[in-house]
C-alpha cells in the first residue's frame, strides 16, 4: 500500500480512550481496514493477521469482507495490553495464500 494514498478510515472519530492509546489503535485499525478493502471480497472472504507483542505472544485476528470499521477498531483496542507504552507491536498480514499477493509485516512503536 502506497502511503501517499493512505486513507484515514477514522477521521473525526471521538472516543473515550486516552490520546496515546487512540493514536496507536487508530494506526493499526486503519491498516486493517486497508487490508480488508484490498485483500477481501466475495471470492476471498477473510485474511488472517497476527498481532505480535512482548516478542513472543501473539493474537490471531481474522479480517473479514463484511466487517465494519468500528468492529475492527474495537477489536484492535481489545487486543492491545492494558499497559501498552514503550513497546513494539508487529502486525503480520498473512496474505500469501491469496493468488498474486504476499505476506506483509508492519511495525508500530509507542
Under a CB-based contact definition with an 8 Å cutoff, are residues 32 and 49 in contact? yes
Query: Which pLDDT band, with edges at 50, 70 and 90, does 87 fall under?
Result: confident
Q: Indicate the pTM of the whole model.
A: 0.87
Residue 90 has pLDDT above 70, yes or no: yes
E strand or H helix at 106, and its extent?
Answer: strand 104-109
Number of C-beta neighbours around residue 53 at 10 A: 17
What's phi and psi for 20, nearest 5 deg? Answer: -65, -45
Number of C-beta neighbours around residue 77 at 10 A: 17
Amino acid at each position: 500500500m502506497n502511503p501517499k494514498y493512505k486513507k484515514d478510515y477514522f477521521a473525526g472519530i471521538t472516543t473515550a480512550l486516552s490520546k496515546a492509546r487512540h493514536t496507536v489503535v487508530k494506526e493499526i485499525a486503519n491498516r486493517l481496514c486497508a487490508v480488508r478493502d484490498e485483500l477481501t471480497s466475495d471470492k476471498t472472504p477473510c485474511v488472517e493477521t497476527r498481532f505480535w507483542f512482548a516478542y513472543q505472544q501473539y493474537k490471531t485476528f481474522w479480517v473479514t469482507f463484511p466487517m465494519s470499521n468500528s468492529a475492527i477498531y474495537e477489536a484492535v483496542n481489545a487486543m492491545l495490553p492494558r499497559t501498552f507504552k514503550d513497546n513494539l507491536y508487529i502486525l503480520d498480514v498473512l496474505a500469501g495464500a491469496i493468488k498474486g499477493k504476499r505476506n506483509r509485516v508492519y511495525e508500530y512503536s509507542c
